Structure 1
Amino acid sequence: MITVLVISDQSLQRLALTTLMARDPDLAVIGEATGTDQAAAMSAELCPDVVVLDRNLSSEDSLQTISRLAHPARAPFRSGSSRLVDRPRRVLVVNLVSADTYAVAALRAGARGLVLDSARAADLIAAVRTVAAGGAVIPAEQTRSLLETVRRHQDPVPPAPARDLDQLTARERQVLAAIAAGWSNAEIAAWLTIAHATVKAHVSSVLRKIGARARVEAVSFAYDTGLVHAPSTSLPARYL
C-alpha cells in the first residue's frame, strides 16, 4: 500500500485528488493539508510515501513547502522517544502547463516529479507509483519547454570535465543526447530500435550514474559536459 498526503489550498481540488486516488486499491490518502506549516507537521506525523502538491498554492508557498518536505530539519534525538527523525519526502507536483519557470524551481527545491493538471487519472496514479518507487517523473510534452527554461536561467559555470561522461556507456550517451533533445522514451526506442522497457532501463541508469533526480537535470548535465551544445530537438550529428 502506497500512502499519500495531499496538499492544496483549494478544497475542491483536494477532494478531486483524494477521490481520484481512492479509486486505486494500492493507494491510500492518509491526510490532507492546506499550507506549508500544516503539511510539514502532518508529513512528520504520518510519514507518507508520497506527497502530492497542487500547484494552486502560490509559487512562494509551494516552493517553500517542497523544500521543507524534501529537506526537513533534523530533530534532536531524545532518549526514550519512539518518534522517528523526520525523513525527506518524495514530492509530486501537479503543475500548470505554462509554468515552466516554476517547474524548474520546483525540481531544484527537491520535487521528484511533475504531472500536468491536464493529465489523465491513470497518468497521475502511475506518477505516484513511480515516485513512491524512488523514480522521477517529467511529462514528455513539457521536456522541450523545460529545456529552454533551464538554458535561459542557468547560472554561468565552468564546463564539467569530460571524464564525467566516462561513467556512461556508449548507448547511455546516445540516450542522454536524445533526452537533451527533448525526445520521449517512445521516440528513443524507435530511433535505437530497442524495446520501450530497455529505454526506461537506460534512462534510469543514466540518472543514477550522474546523480540526477529527473530528466531536466540530465539535460543540464548533457550541456555542462559538452555532450550537446545549442538547444535543439535534433540529435548531434555524431549520434545520427
Structure 2
Amino acid sequence: MNGTPIRIVLADDEHLVRTALRAILGAESGLEVVGEAATGAEAVSLVRELRPDIVLMDVRMPEVDGIRATERIMTGMTGPPRVIVVTTFENDSYVYEALRAGACGFLLKRAGADELVQAVRMVAHSDSLLFPSAVRALAAAHVHCGSAREEEAARLRKRLSEREAEVLRLMTAGLSNAEIAARMTVGPATVKTHVAGVLAKLGVRDRTQAVIAAYESGFVSPR
C-alpha cells in the first residue's frame, strides 16, 4: 500500500452512518472509500468484487450480521482485507465473536473523527493491536477457566519455542514489533520471524487472532 490509497468498504445498515463515515474518511489524504453495503451479504459480495484493504463492519445488520459476514470474507478469500468492527457497545458479545471470526479490532460508533482515521491507518500499516486493553477486557468477559484450558495452554506452550512464547506474551500486552524488539534486545527482523512462527504454529492469520488464542487457551490470563 506504499504510495497508494488505503481502499475502504463501509458496511452498515444505517445510511446516515455510512454517509458520515464516507465524509470523514473521504476528506483524508491517502484514504479512499470504494464501496458501501447495507447488509452483511452485500458486504461479502462487494469485498470479493472490490478487494479493499480495510472493511468497517457493523456487527448488527439484517440478513447476514457482521460476524457471519466477517467469517465468509476470511474463509472465502485469499489475502482477505482487514476488518474493523464498528459497534455501539464495546463489551458486546457480538464484538468478541467478530474478533474470533477474524476481525482485527473494533471501534466504537461514538469515536471521534480523528480516532476513526487513526484506527484505519494503524490497522492498514501497523503491526500493533488495535486497542489492546479493550481486547483484553473482552477476553476477560468471555473466557472461562477450567482444567481443559490448562491442558490446552500446556499443548500451546509445547508448540512454541521459548522465544516465540515470549513474543506471544508481549503481543498480548499490545506491543508492536519494534517495541518487542527493544524489550528483547533483538532486531526487528528477528521479531518478525518469531511472530510469523507464532501465527503459523497457532494456525491464525494475524496477531489479533493469536492474542485471542492465547487468552482462550489459558496461555495468558486476561484478568
Q: TM-score, normalised by structure 2?
A: 0.71
Pick aligned residue for 1:28 from 18, 28, 32: 32
User: Could you list the per-position Cα deviations for residues 163-189 of structure 1 after superposition, in whole angstroms to 9, with x for gaps in the alignment?
Assistant: 3231x52xx645543554xx4549xx6
- Which letter does structure 1 place at the counterpart of 2:169? A
Amino acid at match of 1:113: G
**8 Å CA contact retained: 2:122, 2:130:** no
Asked whether the 8 Å contact 1:95–1:116 carries over to 2, the reply is yes
Which residue matches 1:218? 211
Which residue number in structure 2 is paired with residue 50 of structure 1?
54
Alpha-carbon distance in structure 2 between the residues aligned to 1:12 and 1:91: 21
Correspondence for 1:122: 114
Query: SS of the residue aligned with 2:32?
Result: strand
The CA distance in 2 between the partners of 1:154 and 1:89, in whole Å, is: 35
Match of 2:80 in 1: 88
Does the alignment pair 1:61 with 2:54? no
Distance 1:153 1:214, change over 3 A: farther
Cα distance in 1, alignment partners of residues 97 and 145 from structure 2? 10
Please give the secondary structure, in 1, of the residue aligned with 2:160.
Answer: helix
Aligned partners of 2:145, 2:66: CA distance in 1, in Å? 20
Alpha-carbon shift at residue 43 of structure 1 (Å): 1.9
Change (3 A) 1:126 1:152: same
Q: Residue 112 and residue 204 in structure 1: after superposition, are their counterparts in 2 closer, same or farther (change >3 A)?
A: farther
- Matched with 2:97 is 105
Distance change (3 Å), C-alpha of 1:176 and 1:43:
closer
1:163 aligns with 2:158: yes
- Kept in 1, the 8 Å contact 2:128–2:174? The answer is no
Q: TM-score, normalised by structure 1?
A: 0.67
**Is the Cα–Cα contact under 8 Å of residues 112 and 135 in structure 1 kept in the other structure?**
no
**Alignment check: 8 A CA contact 1:5 1:52 kept:** yes
Q: Aligned residues: percent identity?
A: 26
- Cα 1:18–1:223 change in 2 (3 A) is closer
Query: What are the superposed Cα offsets for residues 201-233 of structure 1, whole Å, 9 maximum, x if unpaired?
Result: 898665432214234632532673x754x553x
Q: Which has the larger radius of gyration?
A: 1
Asked if the contact 1:177–1:222 (Cα under 8 Å) also holds between the matched residues in 2, the reply is no
User: For 2:99 and 2:165, how far apart are their aligned partners in 1?
Assistant: 23
CA contact (8 A) 2:25 2:33 kept: yes
State the 1:39 CA deviation: 1.7
Q: Secondary structure at the match of 1:152?
A: coil
Amino acid across the alignment from 1:69: I
Unaligned residue ranges in structure 2 (runs of 5+)? none
Structure with the higher fraction of residues in helix conformation: 2
Counterpart secondary structure, 2:103: coil
What secondary structure sits across from 2:57 in the alignment? strand
Q: Which residue of 137, 140, 160 corresponds with 2:132? A: 140
Q: Describe the shift of the 1:72–1:175 C-alpha distance in structure 2 as closer, same or farther (beyond 3 A).
A: closer
Measure the CA separation in 2 of the matches of 1:202 and 1:59: 45
What displacement does 1:59 show? 10
Distance 1:29 1:154 in 2: 45
